[in-house]
Amino acid sequence: MKKLFLFFLSFTYYSLFAQSIGAIQSIDTLQSIDISQSVDTLQSVGDIQNIGTAQNVDTLWDTNTVQSIDTRVAEVIEPDKESRDYHEYRIGNSIPPYALSKIKNKMLKLDKGLIGEEVKRIEDNGEYYFPLSEKDFSKLSVKEKFAYTMIYPENKPLTEVKEEVILDEDKKIFGNLVPVFTENGWSERQRNFLGENRKEVIGLIKESALKDRRLGLNYKIALKEMNAVETIPFLVDFYTTKDKKDRDILTLLILLMNDNKYYPFTRSNVYHALYGNDKQSLHESSIEYSKMNEEYIVKTANNFYVQHPKRR
pLDDT of residue 165: 82
In a domain, 62, yes or no: yes
Same domain, 110 and 243: yes
CA dist 289 → 240, 251, 261 (Å)? 15, 11, 23
Same domain, 127 and 266: yes
Total residue length of the chain: 312
In a domain, 14, yes or no: no
In a domain, 187, yes or no: yes
Q: Which residues pair with 173 in a beta bridge?
A: 287
Q: Tell me the C-alpha distance between 93 and 181, whole Å.
A: 9
Same domain, 149 and 259: yes
Convert 189-255 into a string of H (helix), E (strand) and C (coil).
Answer: HHHHHHHHCHHHHHHHHHHHHHHHCCCCHHHHHHHHHCCCHHHHHHHHHHHHHCCCCCCHHHHHHHH
Same domain, 141 and 113: yes
Mean pLDDT in order along the chain per 10 residues (312 residues): 47 48 43 40 41 41 40 61 93 89 73 47 45 87 94 71 81 90 77 96 98 96 96 98 96 97 96 85 88 98 91 56
pLDDT of residue 277: 79
Same domain, 53 and 133: no
pLDDT of residue 76: 61
Q: Tell me the C-alpha distance between 110 and 129, whole Å.
A: 8
Same domain, 255 and 114: yes
Last residue of a domain, one of 75, 106, 130: 75
- Count CA atoms closer than 13 A to 107's CA, side-chain side: 16
In a domain, 21, yes or no: no
Same domain, 122 and 62: no
Look at the pTM and tell me if it is higher than 0.75: no
Q: Tell me the C-alpha distance between 132 and 102, whole Å.
A: 13
In a domain, 28, yes or no: no
* Domain count for the chain: 2
Owning domain of residue 57: 33-75
In a domain, 164, yes or no: yes
Q: Tell me the C-alpha distance between 274 and 177, whole Å.
A: 12
Same domain, 85 and 128: yes
pLDDT of residue 149: 93
pLDDT of residue 220: 97
pLDDT of residue 17: 45
pLDDT of residue 235: 98
Last residue of a domain, one of 19, 47, 75: 75
Same domain, 259 and 284: yes
Last residue of a domain, one of 75, 107, 141: 75
Same domain, 166 and 246: yes
Same domain, 49 and 132: no
Max Cα separation, the chain?
Answer: 127
pLDDT of residue 77: 79
In a domain, 170, yes or no: yes
pLDDT of residue 243: 93
In a domain, 27, yes or no: no
Same domain, 99 and 169: yes
